Amino acid sequence: MLNIVIFGAPGSGKGTQSERIVEKYGLDHISTGDVLRSEIAAGSELGMVAKGLIDNGQLIPDELMIEILAAKLDKLVDSKGVIFDGFPRTIAQAEALKALLNSRGQDVTAMIELDVPEDELMDRLLKRGQLSGRADDNEETIKKRLVVYNEQTSPLKEWYKNDGKHCYINGSGELDRIFADIVAAIDSRI
Ligand code: AP5
Ligand code: MG
């Protein structure tokens, strides 16, 4: 089982590179942002709670997010492994993910950190906002997402270093070069 955490700030390329990783390694992809956006689109109760938080750049509470993730994992059948995109975002979520995988006799294989400077993140997300219409891709919300990332999510780099899983990738530049670096990092751990 290959369990990859793809990690990085908003706009760092987690979704973009996940698609390639899924194709190469045949993994299931769990993007918690996509899960929440589909709940919003469906108008569910969870979607209504999530919308207010996402539009304000804030995280969904850990307890709820961990429950959602566990339910998604439970639904997978005959999985070769999972790429976790946008989860974990807090230390509580990382601990929960480790416990969930350990209870299945598994662990995270590698945590891939995509490092991109903030000015480039802002450019990418503003550009995407014009095309995709994602409600949180406006300057004010992007700034809040970056603050939340720096305060609540970036401490996970140290956490995964201590767990022996952290792999640093320069996330700026050509998509193909970034993907080649990710593949090298994953292959060195399997
Ligand atoms: P989520 O959907 O996870 O959003 P995010 O982390 O803010 O990241 P993005 O999806 O915006 O960026 P990405 O890293 O996937 O980059 P992408 O490949 O799209 O979460 C949204 C919200 O949901 C959160 O704010 C929170 O409220 C909530 N949430 C989700 N998970 C949660 C959790 N676990 N706990 C609590 N709350 C949670 O690329 C971005 C753009 O850049 C694209 O246009 C792409 O084409 C372009 N691009 C990619 N790579 C390059 C490159 N190398 N060069 C140039 N452009 C590039
Ligand atoms: Mg994404």
Residue type, 53: L
pLDDT over 90 at 65, yes or no: yes
Q: Please report the atom of ligand 1 found closest to the CA of residue 12.
A: 14
> What pLDDT digit, counting tens, does each position of 145-154 carry?
999 999 999 9
Write the residue with the smallest CA distance to atom 12 of ligand 1.
11
In the 3-class helix/strand/coil scheme, how is 65-105 assigned residue by residue? HHHHHHHHHHHCCCCCEEEEECCCCCHHHHHHHHHHHHHCC
The pTM of the full predicted model, rounded to 2 decimals, is 0.98
Domain spans of the chain, in order of start: 2-179
Share of the chain above pLDDT 90, in %: 98
Distance separating alpha carbons of residues 121 and 148, to the nearest angstrom: 14
Q: Which residues are catalytic?
A: 14, 89, 128, 134, 145
Distance separating alpha carbons of residues 109 and 15, to the nearest angstrom: 19
> What pLDDT digit, counting tens, does each position of 108-144 carry?
999 999 999 999 999 999 999 999 889 999 999 999 9
Distance separating alpha carbons of residues 166 and 14, to the nearest angstrom: 15
**DSSP helix/strand/coil, 112:** strand
Distance 10 CA to ligand 2 centre (A): 7
Distance 162 CA to ligand 2 centre (A): 26
Distance 136 CA to ligand 2 centre (A): 12
What is the CATH code of the structural domain delimited by 2-179?
Answer: 3.40.50.300
- State the alpha helices, DSSP H only, in the chain: 14-25, 32-42, 45-55, 62-75, 91-103, 118-132, 139-148, 156-162, 175-187
Q: What is the pLDDT of residue 104?
A: 94
